[in-house]
Structure 1
Amino acid sequence: MHSTRWRSTHALALSAIAVSGILTATIPGTAAATPVGPDVSSWQHVDGRFIDWFAVRRSGHDFAMVKATEGLNYVNPYFVQDSLLMRAAGVARGTYHYAQPGLPPEPQAALYAATVLGQNGPLDLPPVLDLEITGGLDPARLINWTHRYLDTVQALTGRTPIVYTYPNFWKSAMANTNEFVHYPLWIADYRGNDQPDVPGGWPTWTFWQTTDRGNVPGIAGVTDVNVYSGAQGDFARYANISSPLGSS
């Protein structure tokens, strides 16, 4: 993950429920009842190695989130490779942009949308904004920045974006605003509770990043692991899957 990411520097124990779900999902040939998947960036390509997305899928992981872009000029060098191999393996793909709020939002949204070529194909989850640094903006300006980015990405991709954040950041940097409750929430919370801390007036979470110390077959080293809550309905529909995951 990005070197400044909170989720890469604060590893806490998983809750018993999360552990149970993740262990079930990593037994070869076993599919978890609740969709589970990693999220990856260039950090998971240790020494330039490929991710074996077929092994990821066989171990029961239904989806993965992949870093696409950051700021105004960074594109993950493994993004295209991962996207193609995920599609071949039948792993639903989410993609995210790591926000640099010190830079204008509209060109960042344009870079992201141009890189991912939309998020409307088979096995595509909606776009994700990864918001975890302020770029020196106070809450009012950061809230405005976030609205502008999300509006632009939605216009360019045609799908309602997902917001990734973590509780303390949202409560402080975003003044715990409830202006974004109509966007699905992907929350990072490693405290080991049965449920994550949901800030900002969201009624529930859609994805929960339970750990940054997961072990997923096919991925070298540790990686983040996430679970889908069902808040957006049937996962297959949400990920544009035309046939059940795992079917031939």
Structure 2
Amino acid sequence: MVSRNRLVLVSFAAASVLTAMSAAPAAADINGPDVSSWQHIDGRGINWFAVRGSGNNFAMLKATEGLNYVNPYFVQDSLLMRAAGVARGTYHFARPAESPELQGALYAAIVLGQNGMLDLPPVLDMEDSGGLPPGALIDWTHRYLNTVQALTGRLPIIYTYPNFWKSAMADSNEFTRYPLWIADYRGNDNPEVPGGWPNWTFWQYTDSGNVPGIAGGTDMNAYSGAQGDFGRFANMPFSGSSGS
């Protein structure tokens, strides 16, 4: 006989799955979480085989922040993601009060390139102005992106959210050549796209997803198809792979 506690746990797990499914974009079939040290609750590891087995094609992994922080789980997660067949995106959290060139160099050194098998392009996480006015922040962003592209050989992705871009970046349309990863949790069919971008590439649609293999809640993201076949975009080993 199933105990009362086990029934409660089963019911809770089922409700969590349904909640995550209802929050996902209806048309999206290429999804993945993004993780940092916060998903390693009490030092626990992530079971990347369970993450992939539950239908997640990719994950975004925090690598660095500013000039003084490296995710202590970065190497561990990178190796296990590759072993499990999860395409890896890596991101740098920008601290614009410090040099963009030095931050780009730190990021590139830690990720050891971002152009190998199962690698998505590098990501710049823009959600802190560092006290810079829009003109100076726009210049900082150009300098960081140019540095990382030169060091990795790939055109970076920009992560941001609409209100930040419209205010801190004065809704600049100077970055539309870079793929956009937009955060918008309002539950609409499509996110708000600032800055003159014609479309979004990744959409972070919730910050409270539940993924097998990851302890606690996590952000969830969908791929739009804006960069074409996901397998090619993620350097999957077989050309033409959809990532399914």
TM-score by length of 2: 0.88
- Is it true that 1:236 corresponds to 2:231 in the alignment? yes
- Is it true that 1:132 corresponds to 2:127 in the alignment? yes
Match of 2:39 among 40, 44, 53: 44
Aligned residues of 2:87 and 2:234 also touching (Cα < 8 A): yes
Match of 1:148 among 125, 143, 151: 143
1:67–1:43 CA distance, 2 compared to 1 (3 A): same
Match of 1:122 in 2: 117
Q: Letter of the 1:89 partner, please give it.
A: A
Aligned residues of 1:16 and 1:194 also touching (Cα < 8 A): no
- SS of 1:208's equivalent in the other structure is strand
Match of 2:11 in 1: none
Match of 1:206 in 2: 201
C-alpha distance in structure 2 between counterparts of 1:246 and 1:126, whole Å: 16
* Residues 61-87 of structure 1: per-residue CA shift (max 9 Å, x gap): 000000000000210000000000000
Aligned residues of 1:14 and 1:192 also touching (Cα < 8 A): no
Aligned residues of 2:57 and 2:86 also touching (Cα < 8 A): yes
- SS of 1:114's equivalent in the other structure is helix
Match of 2:8 in 1: none
Q: Which runs of 5+ in 2 are unaligned?
A: 1-18
Q: Letter of the 1:180 partner, please give it.
A: F
Match of 1:18 among 13, 19, 24: 24
- SS of 2:55's equivalent in the other structure is coil
1:245 shift after superposition: 7.0
* Aligned length, in residue pairs: 224
1:159–1:76 CA distance, 2 compared to 1 (3 A): same
Match of 1:75 among 47, 70, 75: 70
* Residues 197-222 of structure 1: per-residue CA shift (max 9 Å, x gap): 00000000000000000000000000
* Residues 81-110 of structure 1: per-residue CA shift (max 9 Å, x gap): 000000000000000000000111000000
- SS of 1:39's equivalent in the other structure is strand
Aligned residues of 2:158 and 2:179 also touching (Cα < 8 A): yes
Aligned residues of 1:18 and 1:194 also touching (Cα < 8 A): no
Match of 2:177 in 1: 182
Larger Cα-atom Rg: 2
1:18 shift after superposition: 2.2
* Residues 158-186 of structure 1: per-residue CA shift (max 9 Å, x gap): 00000000000000000000000000000
1:246–1:199 CA distance, 2 compared to 1 (3 A): closer
Identity level (%): 75
- Is it true that 1:160 corresponds to 2:166 in the alignment? no
Match of 1:8 in 2: none
C-alpha distance in structure 1 between counterparts of 2:216 and 2:182, whole Å: 22
Match of 1:196 among 172, 175, 191: 191
1:223–1:156 CA distance, 2 compared to 1 (3 A): same
1:245–1:219 CA distance, 2 compared to 1 (3 A): farther
C-alpha distance in structure 2 between counterparts of 1:205 and 1:246, whole Å: 19
Aligned residues of 2:230 and 2:243 also touching (Cα < 8 A): no
Aligned residues of 2:181 and 2:204 also touching (Cα < 8 A): yes
C-alpha distance in structure 2 between counterparts of 1:15 and 1:55, whole Å: 17
Aligned residues of 1:15 and 1:192 also touching (Cα < 8 A): no
Q: Which runs of 5+ in 1 are unaligned?
A: 1-12, 22-32
Give the alignment's Cα RMSD to 1 decimal: 1.8
- Is it true that 1:94 corresponds to 2:89 in the alignment? yes
